[in-house]
């Protein structure tokens, strides 16, 4: 059981608190998919070669997702130990810092990084150094944004009894998905009129508003703290495993030159060692977590059939969503043959992905409502059957 940091002097409305914490969730999820809009504009702006620029710029997305996942896995436990409010505030500030780094990457971040290369005796292409600075800023962004959803879900556990959590969890899921929906369209429309850097400058006032809202919403909520220590060994192992897996699977794959699946089958020499190292670290992570007193993830919960079945289902669903949200935009972009067609593709991608994300957002809240009436299993099976039908239809109509 956690201990309250303080006793609130006034009663609080849990639904009002939930409404306020949904704002930063929305902002963080908005930037998760906006990359599909500014990636073509970025390649043109940096004057990267069209045939290789997408390969290099794809790391803007891959690095963001990697850092987002790492933060997702770690920051929930951190909020257990030091309190939700402190983690929320810190992560919003990190997100703001990352947004500024991306927006200003062509200035001081690039100059700083280029000076490091010069000291090492290297003179790389300044456009690639600029791209690396943008990737670094996106990583910082993701470390802040990745914590918002797990901490919000943990807050639902603090605010609502177990029997009444389905609808607030569904609401957070709907808001999170709504950010995915608007990320494509908002970004695609935005870059038609102003430079892509403006997408990140807009984040700053929005995140500041969210920061004020969170401080206000959580002022009377007891800040529960769990006993124990942070598992640094487990955190290092899971970070290493995820990093090795991500780089090993995506290393040196030239997506720009790929016209079919077989074109992506070349395995670079360092991919297998990275994947092997990732497997070893993952097995060590399981060993450490099963023996340590205060684990990052309590593996005993997977003895519950519902937990491991739900986690496995979520893994495969996430894989399918990744194909729709990430691979489709990249494949649309690599088919473009000129800079002007790349700019036009940004809006096309936004409209295309909305066909996937809008129904997801609309289904999130009814999903929570259905779970309370027909059960979690029936609702999940029904949703998975609909997804199977959708993927079959895509396969039958794909050209």
Q: How far is Cα 219 from Cα 329, in angstroms, rounded to an integer?
A: 41
Q: What is the DSSP letter of 327?
A: I
Asked if 376 and 386 sit in the same domain, the reply is: yes
Asked if 174 and 132 sit in the same domain, the reply is: yes
Query: So what's the pLDDT on residue 204?
Result: 92
Model confidence over 80-129: pLDDT tens digits?
A: 888 888 888 999 999 999 999 999 988 878 888 888 888 888 888 888 88
Give the residues of the chain that fall short of pLDDT 50: 1-9, 254-258, 261
The domain total for the chain is 2
Query: So what's the pLDDT on residue 284?
Result: 95
Q: Can you give the residue range of the structural domain that contains 382?
A: 3-230+320-397
Cα distances (angstroms) measured from residue 186 to each of 34, 72, 80, 183, 281: 8, 25, 34, 5, 39
Domain-located, residue 312: no
Domain-located, residue 368: yes
Q: What angle do CA 356, 357, 358 make, to 5 degrees?
A: 100
Domain boundary among 260, 295, 330: 295
Asked if 368 and 387 sit in the same domain, the reply is: yes
Domain-located, residue 366: yes
Query: So what's the pLDDT on residue 337?
Result: 54
Q: How far is Cα 53 from Cα 57, in angstroms, rounded to an integer?
A: 6
Query: So what's the pLDDT on residue 97?
Result: 94
Query: So what's the pLDDT on residue 124?
Result: 80
Query: So what's the pLDDT on residue 225?
Result: 77
Asked if 175 and 245 sit in the same domain, the reply is: no
Domain-located, residue 307: no
Query: Which structure tokens are listed for 366?
Result: 């009814």
SS (H, E, C) 81-138: HHCHHHHHHHHHHHHHHHHHHHHCCCCHHHHHHHHHHHHCCCCCCHHHHHHHHHHHHH
Q: Are 296 and 238 in contact (CB under 8 A)?
A: yes
Query: So what's the pLDDT on residue 340?
Result: 60
Domain-located, residue 315: no
Query: So what's the pLDDT on residue 334?
Result: 56
Query: So what's the pLDDT on residue 257?
Result: 46
Query: Which structure tokens are listed for 141?
Result: 């962004």
Query: So what's the pLDDT on residue 240?
Result: 93
């Amino acid at each position: 059981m956690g201990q309250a940091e303080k006793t609130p002097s006034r009663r609080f409305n849990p639904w009002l608190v939930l409404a306020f914490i949904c704002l930063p969730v929305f902002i963080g999820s908005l930037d998760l998919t906006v990359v599909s809009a500014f990636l073509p504009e970025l390649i043109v702006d940096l004057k990267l070669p069209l045939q290789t620029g997408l390969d290099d710029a794809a790391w803007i997305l891959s690095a963001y997702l990697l850092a987002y996942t790492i933060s997702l896995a770690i920051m929930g436990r951190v909020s257990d130990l030091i309190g939700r409010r402190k983690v929320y505030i810190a992560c919003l500030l990190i997100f703001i810092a990352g947004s500024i780094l991306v927006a200003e990457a062509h200035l001081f971040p690039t100059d700083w990084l280029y000076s490091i290369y010069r000291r090492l005796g290297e003179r790389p292409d300044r456009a690639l150094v600029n791209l690396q600075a943008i990737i670094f800023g996106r990583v910082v962004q993701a470390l802040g944004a990745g914590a918002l959803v797990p901490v919000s879900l943990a807050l639902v556990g603090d605010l609502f009894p177990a029997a009444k959590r389905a609808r607030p969890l569904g609401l957070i899921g709907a808001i999170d998905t709504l950010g995915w929906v608007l990320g494509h369209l908002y970004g695609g429309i935005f870059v038609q009129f102003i430079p892509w850097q403006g997408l990140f400058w807009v984040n700053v006032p929005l995140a500041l508003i969210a920061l004020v809202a969170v401080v206000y919403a959580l002022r009377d909520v007891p800040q529960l703290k769990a006993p124990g220590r942070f598992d640094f060994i487990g955190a290092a192992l899971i970070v290493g495993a995820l990093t090795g897996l991500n780089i090993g699977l995506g290393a040196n794959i030239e997506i720009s030159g790929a016209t079919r699946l077989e074109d992506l089958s070349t395995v670079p020499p360092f991919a297998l060692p990275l994947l092997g190292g990732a497997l070893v670290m993952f097995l060590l992570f399981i060993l450490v977590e099963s023996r340590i007193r205060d684990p990052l993830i309590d593996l005993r919960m997977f003895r519950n059939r519902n937990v491991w079945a739900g986690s496995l289902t979520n893994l495969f669903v996430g894989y399918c969503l990744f194909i729709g949200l990430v691979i489709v935009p990249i494949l649309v972009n690599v088919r473009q043959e000129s800079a002007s067609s790349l700019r036009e593709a940004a809006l096309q991608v936004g409209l295309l992905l909305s066909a996937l994300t809008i129904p997801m957002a609309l289904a999130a809240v009814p999903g929570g409502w259905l779970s309370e009436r027909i059960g979690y299993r029936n609702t999940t099976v029904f949703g998975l059957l609909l997804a199977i039908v959708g993927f079959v239809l895509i396969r039958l109509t794909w050209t």
